[in-house]
Structure 1
């Protein structure tokens, strides 16, 4: 009798164990979704708002498309809310306290990024499993890559810092229907993968309650994450800024060449063309439209102006150096500026009547007259005297021509000295201007 009693108890225990522990997660899921409606909010009291929390994990900044001002980023999004219609008693279902359900089969908050760029319409939310607890708590996370608009401030390019806001909220539920709360004060960057072009400075969070013009008196919740990134400027400094600075310095150093050297204009023209090419290369990394002039473009513009001014002043210097008509002595004010001292008393203004061509004409005229006098001379002594006078006049004319050419060369030499000193002054002035302007543009307040 005792054996039969034990056998009956064992059989009842096994039956109970089979009934209680033989429940599968699939059966729990079927039970929950049997009469479930995913279109309505998961609250039994219609006046109650669904409280949803959102955690954003920044995984990677893929790229910032500067021409379109669009930031491409990888996120992990973690949603948490409570569903009053997804509850059960674990004791009645084999102590199963949590299950996985396809998220498309249940109600989801469907939070969207307001400033997201949609190239092919509204993209579908990734369909990943949601973890449902027995008390109705739902945890839904997924990974997503989005294109978010980011209005860029390129005033200090390539040393710029960009702030890209990500405004996330419900598109159809106001705060009385869906309340968004934050579990953390900032976005999560523990899993962040460094970007080769951009350095992440901060990932802050701000929860807003906004009233829009479409719905007066109604507040809408949103969570605005602000990504602050700084450009890694080494590439642009090495391949754009430094070549531009070197070209501008070469154009300035052109004043060190002798004034009569023909290589100076060659240097200026090549530097001018090279800086224009570098400017076009830099513009490929900038937005198509902008309200400010980038730092690097300001520097290149100044460099181009310096090269242009260098070329123009080189032409002026060469015109002074090779001036061959109506050559005047160096003015007194230029002598004082460049410390040339008092002018040579033998240097006088070259008047038209003492020009080389006039001297040649006078010599021919005197020679012809003397030849006529010699022809009509009858007395031998008189003819000899006239020949002596004629020779003396010819020698005087030759001496006068020699003195004039000597004075001409001295004036030319003085103008060459002036041109050389002007070049040295321009070299110093342009070098100081290049250093001051570079410091003003690339300085802390530039």
Structure 2
């Protein structure tokens, strides 16, 4: 019974309160309509809202950055989405709130009063603020919050792209009113970034504001403005993985061209292919950058890498000419023999052409085996005379000549016939010796020419290894230099 009574009392109280509030709202709506008609009956938004024409109208400005819509580096234009709050006092829009049932503020369309677009414009393009309502207080204070999309000129410095920082200025000031008529102030020391939507490419490191008073050459009156400096830092991860890292990997292929065997026929092709790949990446960077005198950091890296690859390709052609000198070339100079073949080949672990560390060890084992006694036993059917030197054969021939002189043929038929056979045999030996000497000299000449070509090939191989390490070091230091300048 008591619970039901309490619930009934609550319902009655709620209905009474709702009725009171509804009546109050209705009363305030009636007074607001009456106030609106009286305020704007003779009001004009064409002039400055001051009673005395010598009075300066003070406007307070506050900017809230909401989003960066676009940063066009090539055309150097920053497009930003802003919330602009401006506050000033209108001398003709005041009332006594006691006469209007305590009504202290009303909201009216912005096109009924002197609006922001009549006072101020931003640098470059500025879209008209949305026709939102303004808050008008009884003491004449006007507060207008309106969104706007601004396009501001921004001097883009791409010297350290993609690790660059940019500073873009948003300047707000009067086009027609000088500082003696309209003065502008910044309500905060910086723009408001509390509602900023994070951008995928840029980080915001601040938006300081400063008031400037400029006197132009055409006029003696001062012109004040408020400049907001937007400090941007580029997020470089996208460019590192899509532009810098591929270039780094490609540049490490250039020194490997020296490691390719000369007989493969792919040494020059590899250098040209790498050069074309870097040219494609450089064109991609050039399309997005403004045509300025400042070359981007990544562009300098591309140019340095392309120069290095061009130099490596030219050196490869020279080294291949050395490799294919052949037997018709001059012998290796003594200084090259000492410096390159004796010292540099040991430093870079270069063995003879067609030889590596395993084959060299196998050759040493075979030599030690052949030096052992009875390593090559003599078979019963082997011919001993085949291993005699040519000098012994010549000595044998001269002995026969002494033993059987030419005069022995006279008077001795049988012995003369034997002597003629012996002399004929010696003539055959003499012709055979000449042929063997000719073949031996040809073999010696061939071996000498082959040894000369082998030496030039080894010189080319040592130079390949030398330049391979030189270019590896250059690529490494260039990469470290780029990363160091980025920070």
Q: Partner residue of 1:362?
A: none
Quote the residue 2:265 is aligned against. 262
Q: In the alignment, which of 180, 187, 203 is matched to residue 184 of structure 2? A: 180
Identify if the C-alpha distance between structure 1 residues 383 and 186 changes in structure 2 by more than 3 Å, giving closer, same or farther.
Answer: same
User: Quick one: which of 204, 207, 211 aligns to 2:215?
Assistant: 211
Deviation beyond 6 Å, 4+ runs, structure 1: 19-22, 379-384
| Separation in structure 2 between the aligned mates of residue 107 and residue 117 of structure 1, nearest angstrom | 21
Other-structure match for 1:48: 55
Deviation at 1:284, TM superposition (A): 2.8
Aligned mates of 2:445, 2:104 — CA distance in 1 = 117
The question of whether the paired residues in 1 share the 8 Å contact of 2:326 and 2:452 is answered with no
What CA deviation, in whole Å up to 9, does each residue of 1:335-378 have, x standing for no partner? Answer: 2222438xxxxxxxxxxxxxxxxxxxxxxxxxxxxxxxxxxxxx
Counterpart CA distance in 2 for 1:32 and 1:313 is 88
Instruction: Confirm or deny that 1:427 pairs with 2:434.
Output: no
Alignment counterpart, residue 393 of structure 1, candidates 434, 438, 446: 434
Q: Which of the residues 274, 289, 292 maps onto 1:290? A: 292
* Change in 2 beyond 3 A, CA 1:409/1:20: closer
* CA–CA distance in structure 2, aligned partners of residues 444 and 279 of structure 1: 19
Tell me if structure 2 keeps the 8 A contact 1:113–1:166. no
The corresponding residue for 1:117 is 125
Q: Deviations over 1:377-405 (max 9, x none)?
A: xx977776655444333322221111111
Q: Deviations over 1:144-200 (max 9, x none)?
A: 112211110000000010110011111111110001112111110000110001111
Query: Are the equivalent residues in 2 in contact too, given 1:295–1:442 (CA < 8 A)?
Result: no
Residue of structure 1 in register with 2:8 after alignment: none
- The 1-side partners of 2:121 and 2:161 are apart by 28
Q: How far off its partner does 1:285 sit? A: 2.5
**SS of residue paired to 1:209:** strand
Quick one: which of 222, 227, 232 aligns to 2:225?
A: 222
2:45–2:114: 8 Å Cα contact kept in structure 1? Answer: yes
Structure 1, unpaired ranges of 5+: 1-16, 342-378
Q: How far did residue 261 of structure 1 move? A: 3.0
The answer to whether 1:302 aligns with 2:304 is: yes
Residues 1:71 and 2:68 are matched in the alignment? no
Cα pair distance change 1:228/1:410, threshold 3 Å: same
Say what the alpha-carbon RMSD is for the aligned residues.
2.3
Deviation at 1:325, TM superposition (A): 5.9
Q: TM-score, normalising length from structure 1?
A: 0.82
Alignment of 1:237 onto 2:278: no
Distance 1:100 1:313 in 2: 80
Distance 1:424 1:203 in 2: 55
1:441: how far off? 3.3
Is 1:86 aligned with 2:112?
Answer: no
Greater mean deviation of Cα atoms: 432-441 or 302-311? 432-441
Higher helix share: 2
Q: Structure 1 CA distance, aligned partners of 2:300 and 2:66? A: 35
Cα distance change, pair 390–54 in 1 and its aligned pair in 2 (3 A): same
Q: 1:384 to 1:393 in 2, by over 3 A?
A: same
Which residue of 306, 322, 325 maps to 2:324? 322
State the shift of 1:25 in Å: 1.4
Partner of 1:244, secondary structure, is helix
Give the total of aligned pairs: 386
Q: d(CA) in 2 for partners of 1:298 and 1:263?
A: 28
| Aligned mates of 2:447, 2:28 — CA distance in 1 | 124
Whole-Å separation in 1 of the counterparts to 2:89 and 2:252: 68
Bigger drift between 157-166 and 323-332 goes to: 323-332
- 1:36 Cα deviation (Å)? 0.6
* Shift of residue 115, structure 1, vs aligned partner: 2.3
Alpha-carbon shift at residue 312 of structure 1 (Å): 1.0
Is the 2:202–2:233 Cα contact (8 Å) retained in structure 1? Answer: yes
In the TM superposition, residue 22 of structure 1 has moved relative to its aligned partner by: 7.5
Q: Deviations over 1:241-296 (max 9, x none)?
A: 11101111011122223343323223222211111111122223212x11200001
Q: Which has the larger displacement, 256-265 or 411-420?
A: 256-265
Partner residue, 2:18: none
**TM-score normalised per structure 2:** 0.75
